[in-house]
Structure 1
Amino acid sequence: MEEKMCGIAGILNKNNQGVTEDLILMLSCMHNRGPDGVSIQVGQNKANSLESSESSSPYIDGRFGLGHVRLAIVGGQLGRQPFTSCDGRLTLGHNGEIYNYKQIRNSLKPQHNFVSTSDSEVILHLLEEKLAQSATLVEALTKMAKVLDGVYSIAVKDHKTGEIALIRDLLGVRQLYYSEDPQQVTFASEQKAIWLLGGNKSVRRVMPGHAVIISNGGALREYRIAEPPRALNPNKKKFRYNTLEEALTAYKRALILAMKKRTQGLDRIGIIFSGGIDSVLVAWIAKDMVNEVICYNAGTLDSSDILFADKVAKDLQLTLKVNVITKRSTQEMLPKIIHAIEERDAVQVEVALPIYSAMALAKKDHVKVVISGQGVDEIFGGYPWYPRIVETEGYASLRSHMIEDLFLLYKETLEREDKTTMAHGIEMREPYLDKQIIRTAFDINPKLNIIGPNDLLGKRVHRKLANQLGIPKEIAYRNKSAAQHGSGIHFIIDEIARENNFDENRISSGYLRELEKRELLGSSQRYGFKYGNKELWLTSPHIQMYLDRIFESVFGKSSTIIDTSDEEDLLTSKIIKKI
């Protein structure tokens, strides 16, 4: 695959006014997502520079433009997006990676003219093929989604009908945002690219597994195009794997394959490494697949995560680099982190900070890909409140809640971590969210992962496999603190807030009510807020007020995502009902 992580942006002007200047502005503010190249297409004119004078095909301004910034992992200049189909009907931009693109390419090659070895171009020709077999663009997109194995956000223009489609993968691993006003529809990989155009723009997410279709006149409709595997049926009573031996064999096979997909062609990778079993296991497997594996961590000097990660890395002979976080470095990073993750929520900021700091080290090492351990708790039952669900509601209810958690992962974790790593021009990959791993995990009898209401460890199959592969028991069966507490970050931010005169005395009853409203659209949508320790989600109001002020200084008071909470509530209910 010639290009991997990147950023896309586009504009459709409803009043037939030119969009080039605004599109260039949007792409410029996402330079971190594509430091290795930029391309822009307005109408039928394409240029590989933001300066039209440098282009062999100068811009002819038009009412629709699509742009792309590129992070090159492997390959050369032929992978520059946007791509146009053989018949000229489709123009496509893509952010993500497709793991079965070679197989798809081989099946399409006899009928299509490929100009690159890019997975993005494969998506284009696949859609071109499906569109020829379909009555509508939505039907073609649905057929395409069934074939793709990977993570993606896609923008595609159908020049025949004038329609534009914005598409997101099933779990929402790669984000895409859009906004509409009386003048135009804009979309981008990051909200700040839309906010930059000014005005009080209401930004919405393209929902996971959905396509937003924009008509030639600018009207918007939303469709579900990707369906979850049958293994995720919450009412499932019969399981494929009912013994530990069966489960371990299936999981090992799926995990090794998922790691191979995400490390192929790479000579060096990084690991976001906390010392917890999820990151330890991918590091342990990766060292046999890649020549150089470097683990990265960050935290205060005496934090539990740093101390344990250092011990684990030494015991397992893994290379670990640590960025020690101080009060001064935290003060310097906070505005940068808020700018990167486009969030003011204190928990989101506190979790992002050690990763942001660790990725600064990875950038110095010229690492372009890091592996994350995200997703294990959702699919193997690792959260500490899961046993309480077993006790009060039973295993069947637990399964439903785990599925809900999986399909809300995009909102609280995936978007934040993508932006945090991409702020340094580094792509994050999530092997535990591989399609086959998810199928396997939900085909395992949940009693193998949580052995009863008193099981405070959970994810037993995952831990057992780690031990089976050679990781010592004391590492495989260790419990771990939440990121912001294990790294020591929370206490530093609390101290900084107080030094800036943000303390309990500044908190009004009105502000507390505002925080309650925010929470209704945030973590409380996850049932763990009800059954678990609310302190994992809530923070001191004076810290939140301090971060609010930083957010406003970075983006302005009017810049805020309009949360699509109604659709998000429907997202999991639609999935459950559909299965």
Structure 2
Amino acid sequence: MCGILFSIQDKNVDPKENYDPTWSTLQELNSRRGPSAQDSHSVTISQPSSTSQEDPMWSNINMTFYGAVLHLRGDQVTRQPHVSPTGNILLWNGEIFDGIPVDHHENDGRVLMNQLEVISARDQGAQEHKQDFLDLMARIEGPYAFVYFHVLSQTLYFGRDCLGRRSLLWHKSDQNGSIIGLPFIITSTGYSSFRSDLLPLEEVPADGIYSVSLSPHSPKTTTKHPWIPAQSSDANEHGAMTLPFGRVNSVIPKDTELSAPFAEGLKFDVAHPDLAPPITGDMQEAITGMISVLGDSVRRRVQDIPRTGLQHDARVGILFSGGLDCLCLAALADRFLPEGEAIDLLNVGFENPRSVKAKAAEEALALKRLKKKQGTAESSGTTDGDITNSGKAKPTKPDTRFNVPDRTTGYESLTELRKIAPRRHWNFVEVNVPFEEAMAQRSEILERIAPLETVMDLSIAMAFWFASRGIGYIKNDQGELIPYTSQAKVLLSGLGADEQLGGYSRHKDQFTAAGWEGLIHELQLDLDRISTRNLGRDDRIISDHGKEARYPFLSTHVVQFLSKLRVDLKVDLRYPRGVGEKILLRHVARELGFDRASSHWKRAVQFGARTAKMTDSGRSEIGQQVVDRAKATAK
């Protein structure tokens, strides 16, 4: 994972007064993403000048490439930008897990640059090179964002992978449709739109790869080379790329294909984990296939991570709520990491004054009733000591302020996890966030999520920002909390499971309103918009700590497998909550040995960690409204 930053300026034109502070701010922010090494490279292209508004050209183009590297691939730190002897330049923020062979001793950015040199030397013309370049990028399985300058055709390429798993922002200056002005900036991360002293930024869409011709007399316009579904009639269109997966299977299941209806008297819920919907032959085949393809995705994402810390430090962490998705990832990661190696389970809980106040009132009322019943006014119990962030290794008692729903679920799932993988050392990291600390960091987190700045974005991002920071506590054998900071640079996330397997309440709503057709439409919609709703934001948040998020459920191999499956084999909402949603993954969990956790309900992270509506003033906030800047910056 890296931070990449690029700009085009005209050396004959004075830059805008806010360009220099913008560039220096972005350089500092991108360096957080890549603490292992930073470097830059500049190149100038001279062109004839023009004053035509319809055909804008620049006279003396200066391009600056800046790369910051987080060392996660290869035996040694490989600096970037990658500059070839022929003058081609690559900024690469990604991981190649399949599609192009990469030995575990090699750096995938350098391997990709070598491949680009091969096609550059082979191709005879700009159009031939363009299609070969696009075909090469389409073969890559893995998350990426990049900037590439091909010197022979004087063409700039940039973009994100087909799911948008890596963040990329741009500033197009005086934009008019696809025409770009100067300065033109591309960056992995940015800052809040409230920063009027800096140039505004927008997300680069993940709908294709973009190019700009920098050759003389060419209009400076962006050309999109779109991702096209494999079954589309335009799949072989020149200048396009074929998606590695098709659209969601739209076949409506027949009654004869569906699993048996409810048996009268059976109660499917968390209290009855031994009961489960019957498994048909088709479902058993889907379970076996899912374990295989998801396991391979996890394997590719946890193997060969270089060790940069102490021998006993965990190299892999899991954003761990105790829910179905992350628990399955933990069980599969256990299969592919050395037996003696620890895995960090990062479980975040916030002190939510509203929730704490409500719980205190509830406990006071219960105590009052108990005293009245017993006819005594004796005081009962003592309060636990507060947890501080002093960093001292002094044990302390658990603090009930952080007993959020995800903490309870997390420990329940940890118990099952230890039963199926007793030889693994599981570090259950309690990331406890006091209210004052959450408020102190709120403004900085709002900067990282931009340009997504809704109330819901902020509440989700706060949970991920503190969890990925990894500063918390683990319990000793006496049940006391010991300060602990996770050194894991790779964090696995279960994102993508709910979108593809029908885990949200809106899937139930669509099924109730429009049956299987409505459900299929909603699943396709979720897959189409995942880049704009989640992935860019989460990448910017987690990478702020020099960590890399990896999404096994969003391997294009997993997406392809699930897209082909008949809908009822993924989600069957004829069954009640905790049974029918994500029914395939629930069967997978049981196959992996998780009987109780297989009945866990979906709980959004902002409610499980209690980052939503933390103050009385936030009670009226709506998830999709833009954050009130005054509230966000208030301490």
TM-score, scaled relative to structure 2 = 0.69
Specify which of 236, 241, 258 is matched with residue 297 of structure 2. 258
One-letter amino acid of the structure 1 residue matched with residue 601 of structure 2: N
Specify which of 194, 200, 212 is matched with residue 214 of structure 1. 212
Mark the CA change 1:138 to 1:405 in structure 2 (over 3 Å): closer, same or farther.
Answer: farther
Specify which of 135, 141, 145 is matched with residue 133 of structure 2. 141
Mark the CA change 1:549 to 1:76 in structure 2 (over 3 Å): closer, same or farther.
Answer: farther
RMSD: 3.3
Structure-2 separation of matches of 1:377 and 1:292: 27
State the Cα distance separating 1:364 from its structure 2 match.
Answer: 2.9
Contact between 2:3 and 2:67, CA under 8 Å: does it hold in 1?
Answer: yes
Mark the CA change 1:263 to 1:483 in structure 2 (over 3 Å): closer, same or farther.
Answer: same
Question: The residue matched to 1:340 in structure 2 has which SS?
Answer: helix
Mark the CA change 1:404 to 1:81 in structure 2 (over 3 Å): closer, same or farther.
Answer: same
1:507-566 deviation digits (Å, cap 9, x = unpaired): xxxxxxxx9xxxxxxxxxxxxxxxxxxx7x457xxxx65x42266899xxxxxxxxxxxx
Matched residues, percent identical?
A: 20
Partner residue of 1:184?
Answer: 183
State the Cα distance separating 1:223 from its structure 2 match.
Answer: 2.2
Contact between 2:192 and 2:448, CA under 8 Å: does it hold in 1?
Answer: no
Superposition pairs of residues 396-475 of structure 1, within 5 angstroms: 396-456=517-577, 457-472=580-595, 474-475=596-597
Structure 2 residue ranges without an equivalent (≥5): 46-59, 174-180, 227-239, 258-279, 308-314, 351-401, 419-425, 472-483
Structure-2 separation of matches of 1:475 and 1:138: 49
Structure 1 residue ranges without an equivalent (≥5): 46-60, 107-115, 505-514, 516-534, 555-579
Are 1:282 and 2:329 counterparts? yes
State the Cα distance separating 1:399 from its structure 2 match.
Answer: 2.1
Mark the CA change 1:344 to 1:102 in structure 2 (over 3 Å): closer, same or farther.
Answer: closer
Superposition pairs of residues 152-191 of structure 1, within 5 angstroms: 152-181=144-173, 182-191=181-190
Structure-2 separation of matches of 1:130 and 1:252: 37
Are 1:10 and 2:6 counterparts? yes
State the Cα distance separating 1:135 from its structure 2 match.
Answer: 4.2
Structure-2 separation of matches of 1:186 and 1:325: 36
Structure-1 separation of matches of 2:163 and 2:465: 23
One-letter amino acid of the structure 2 residue matched with residue 166 of structure 1: F
Superposition pairs of residues 94-133 of structure 1, within 5 angstroms: 94-100=92-98, 103=101, 117-131=106-120, 132-133=122-123
Larger RCO (CA under 8 A, 6+ residues apart): 2
Are 1:79 and 2:78 counterparts? yes
Are 1:338 and 2:446 counterparts? yes
Structure 1 range deviating more: 445-454 or 343-352: 445-454
Mark the CA change 1:366 to 1:260 in structure 2 (over 3 Å): closer, same or farther.
Answer: same
Partner residue of 1:309?
Answer: 410
Between Structure 1 and Structure 2, which shows a larger proportion of helix residues?
A: 1
Contact between 1:229 and 1:439, CA under 8 Å: does it hold in 2?
Answer: yes
One-letter amino acid of the structure 2 residue matched with residue 172 of structure 1: G
Contact between 1:14 and 1:183, CA under 8 Å: does it hold in 2?
Answer: yes
Q: Which has the larger radius of gyration?
A: 2
One-letter amino acid of the structure 2 residue matched with residue 382 of structure 1: G
Structure-2 separation of matches of 1:79 and 1:194: 33
1:116-142 deviation digits (Å, cap 9, x = unpaired): 921112222323334444642542332
Contact between 2:297 and 2:552, CA under 8 Å: does it hold in 1?
Answer: yes
One-letter amino acid of the structure 1 residue matched with residue 346 of structure 2: Y
Contact between 1:296 and 1:361, CA under 8 Å: does it hold in 2?
Answer: yes
Mark the CA change 1:104 to 1:334 in structure 2 (over 3 Å): closer, same or farther.
Answer: closer
Structure-2 separation of matches of 1:302 and 1:257: 35
Question: The residue matched to 1:175 in structure 2 has which SS?
Answer: coil
Are 1:549 and 2:630 counterparts? yes
Mark the CA change 1:242 to 1:388 in structure 2 (over 3 Å): closer, same or farther.
Answer: farther
Structure-2 separation of matches of 1:193 and 1:14: 26
One-letter amino acid of the structure 2 residue matched with residue 9 of structure 1: L
Mark the CA change 1:548 to 1:91 in structure 2 (over 3 Å): closer, same or farther.
Answer: same
Partner residue of 2:225?
Answer: 223
State the Cα distance separating 1:406 from its structure 2 match.
Answer: 1.2
Mark the CA change 1:303 to 1:452 in structure 2 (over 3 Å): closer, same or farther.
Answer: closer
State the Cα distance separating 1:229 from its structure 2 match.
Answer: 3.8
Contact between 1:369 and 1:426, CA under 8 Å: does it hold in 2?
Answer: yes
Partner residue of 1:32?
Answer: 32
Mark the CA change 1:213 to 1:70 in structure 2 (over 3 Å): closer, same or farther.
Answer: same
Question: The residue matched to 2:503 in structure 1 has which SS?
Answer: coil
Structure 1 range deviating more: 429-438 or 337-346: 337-346
Structure-1 separation of matches of 2:10 and 2:208: 23
Partner residue of 2:344?
Answer: 294
Structure-2 separation of matches of 1:161 and 1:198: 36
